[in-house]
Amino acid sequence: MSRTTNGGSSDIVQWFEESAEQAGTVQTETLRRILSLNCGAEYLKKWLGDANVQEMEATALESLYTSLVPLASHADLEPYIQRIADGETGPLITREPITTLSLSSGTTEGRQKYVPFTRHSSKTTLEIFKLGAAYRSRVYPTREGGRVLEFIYSSKRFKTKGGIMVGTATTHVYASEEFKIRQQETKSFTCSPQAVIQSGDYKQTTYCHLLLGIHFSEQVEYITSTFAYSIVQAFRSFEEIWREICNDIREGSLSSRITIPDVREAVLDIIRPNPSLASTVQSKCEELEEKDWVGLIPKLWPNAKYVYSIMTGSMQPYLSKLWHYAGNLPLVSADYGSTESWIGVNVDPCLPPEKVTFAVIPSFSYFEFIPLHRQNQDSESAAGDDFIEDTPVPLSQVKIGQEYEIVLTTFTGLYRYRLGDVVEVAGFHGKTPKLNYICRRKLILTVNIDKNTEKDLQSVVERGSQILRNSRAELVDFTSHANVAKQPGHYIIYWEIKGDVEETLLGECCREMDASFVDHGYVVSRKSNSIGPLELCIVERGTFKKIMEYFISNGAALSQFKTPRCTSNPVLLRILNVCTVKKFHSTAYGS
């Protein structure tokens, strides 16, 4: 793909359109490239022996590979990755040495894991940035030389005992030569300089992002961050610190809260006293404060065209607040990827986040899809899953309307790796599938025969939180826990709320959530009292900020953070329980 990256946006779109039209062929050639680059690596040799993959015809190689190499989870590859982390230099999963590992946030699986990161990872990240931007520019054209208010954050990196650099994937990208070159070539691209992005202190970085965003407010073309959560978090902070920002704009100074020398120097090198702008922003903020900050973004950034971020999956609960801030600006869902690989690009940026699909990029990884079928509601799965699966199929054989789990084979040494994401094929772009993200496959709430996913929980919480609107309060964030320490086990849902709510109303929210679980196993268990009444715990303001800070202190970057929707982490449960100020138990089943 490197031949397209030096051209204009039309070049990269043309490249992708051609790839999409030949998606099946591109996929077999992608697999050939991966196996040719990494043949002889210990993991591959274990399954393929001395097969001469470089001489085999592409479709025959595809058949051999999928018949001999088993599906794998992270646990299967973890021993090899740990050996790399410990300093072993032989070809374990790739022939090229792996000198960098990505650290997942740990919010999905409950613990952080190492994922191989190579120059290919940085390259595809910047390529999908360009591809996504090219499609967006067709719908929302931006001005030449305009700026972007990016809420992006690096986290601290460290080395393993074997000398391997570890950090989040986004941190590696921001530290990469490719990213630095992009910043140098497009100096007007982002409001914040490199020192701000790489400060390692999310509070100081957020303040500087906001300050510089205001400083360049007339030039800002759109607002973005990796996850919607980061944008919401930034503007919640802005509600509290806007007066201080106005003072810095007026005086051309920088708050004493910014203590990192490199950051102070970089920001002070940009800003100058601007009393007129400060007065204008102050007047707008006073007006916004009276209206609960509705339409904050277009009011303060009048030339912004849209808000751009990942808004699917665990980010969906933040959409209502994002709409609140965005006013009449479109929300555009960012492209689909994971720590392991980028997967698809949003080729229809005019669609709202609730309807977005992602066209698979067939040259980034080799994709397989495990067909999934919902189990009969009366059945009980010993595996703790609510799907029955068929044999994996290649990208060229997926069908519209069918749900699948994605399987990846990557250039970075992951082979037939089960990603755990459930998607539905919504259509095709050329001959590459357009995916609708459904949920993580892993069940997050289960006591015995009940089976509830993150999507099920989000639906239940949405039903319960609608009642809050009668009191003009809002749900800030939530998580859950399946408490099996006492019998019968029961669900606990933790809410942080902004605003005052009568206890009778909260009791109604609790009852509504309990009654909204539609899983047959849950309903039957509640009626027979083999699952106890749902418990709603109201936590004090700032509790979920403490949870975020716990993850950041363990290496996650704010731009990567996702609130865990279910947790058994004893540290998080201790934070939640210590901060609980009110408890309610459901009476939905006559309990």
What is the three-state SS of 152-210? CCCCCCEECCCCCEEECHHHHHHHCHHHHHHHHHCCCCECCCHHHHCCCCHHHHHHHHH
Question: Taking 80 as the threshold, does the pLDDT of residue 51 lie above it?
Answer: no
Per cent of the chain over pLDDT 90 is 45
Question: Taking 80 as the threshold, does the pLDDT of residue 428 lie above it?
Answer: yes
Question: Taking 50 as the threshold, does the pLDDT of residue 517 lie above it?
Answer: yes
d(CA 413, CA 87): 17
- pLDDT tier for residue 438 given thresholds of 50, 70 and 90: confident
Average pLDDT over residues 42-53: 84
CB neighbour list of residue 325: distance below 8 Å, 6 or more residues apart: 231, 232, 235, 293, 294, 295, 296, 297, 307
**Listed range (186-195, 387-396, 562-571) with the worst mean pLDDT:** 186-195
For residue 100, give the 3-state DSSP assignment: strand
Average pLDDT over residues 427-448: 86
Question: Taking 70 as the threshold, does the pLDDT of residue 36 lie above it?
Answer: yes
Q: What tokens were used for 204?
A: 């100081």
Question: Taking 70 as the threshold, does the pLDDT of residue 204 lie above it?
Answer: yes
d(CA 531, CA 521): 10
What is the pLDDT, as a whole number, of residue 209? 95
Question: Taking 80 as the threshold, does the pLDDT of residue 556 lie above it?
Answer: no
Phi-psi region of 374 (alpha: psi -120 to 50; beta: other; left: phi over 0): beta
Nearest partner of 214 among 245, 252, 253, judged by Cα: 245
Of the ranges 83-97, 267-281, 443-457, the best mean pLDDT one: 267-281
d(CA 424, CA 387): 14
Question: Taking 50 as the threshold, does the pLDDT of residue 5 lie above it?
Answer: no
Average pLDDT over residues 50-71: 83
Average pLDDT over residues 167-175: 73
Average pLDDT over residues 561-577: 88
Of the ranges 192-206, 403-417, 478-492, the best mean pLDDT one: 403-417
CB neighbour list of residue 545: distance below 8 Å, 6 or more residues apart: none
Predicted TM-score (pTM) of this structure: 0.80
What is the pLDDT, as a whole number, of residue 339? 82
Question: Taking 70 as the threshold, does the pLDDT of residue 541 lie above it?
Answer: yes
- pLDDT tier for residue 187 given thresholds of 50, 70 and 90: very low
Distance of alpha carbon 449 from the chain centroid:
30
Q: H/E element holding 121?
A: helix 119-139
Nearest partner of 417 among 107, 147, 76, judged by Cα: 76
Question: Taking 60 as the threshold, does the pLDDT of residue 91 lie above it?
Answer: yes
pLDDT tens, position by position, 336-382: 988 888 999 999 999 999 899 999 999 999 999 999 987 654 444 43
For residue 407, give the 3-state DSSP assignment: strand
Nearest partner of 174 among 199, 208, 191, judged by Cα: 199
In single-letter form, the type of residue at position 352 comes to: P
Question: Taking 70 as the threshold, does the pLDDT of residue 451 lie above it?
Answer: yes
Question: Taking 80 as the threshold, does the pLDDT of residue 108 lie above it?
Answer: no
- pLDDT tier for residue 261 given thresholds of 50, 70 and 90: very high
Mean pLDDT of the chain: 86
- pLDDT tier for residue 9 given thresholds of 50, 70 and 90: low
Question: Taking 60 as the threshold, does the pLDDT of residue 186 lie above it?
Answer: no
Question: Taking 70 as the threshold, does the pLDDT of residue 1 lie above it?
Answer: no
Average pLDDT over residues 157-181: 75
Look up tokens 């903020």; give the residue: 285
**Listed range (105-119, 148-162, 412-426, 537-551) with the worst mean pLDDT:** 105-119
Question: Taking 90 as the threshold, does the pLDDT of residue 307 lie above it?
Answer: yes
Average pLDDT over residues 149-164: 83
Neighbour-count burial of 219, counting CB atoms closer than 10 A to its CB (0-12 exposed, 13-18 middle, 19+ buried):
middle
Average pLDDT over residues 47-68: 81
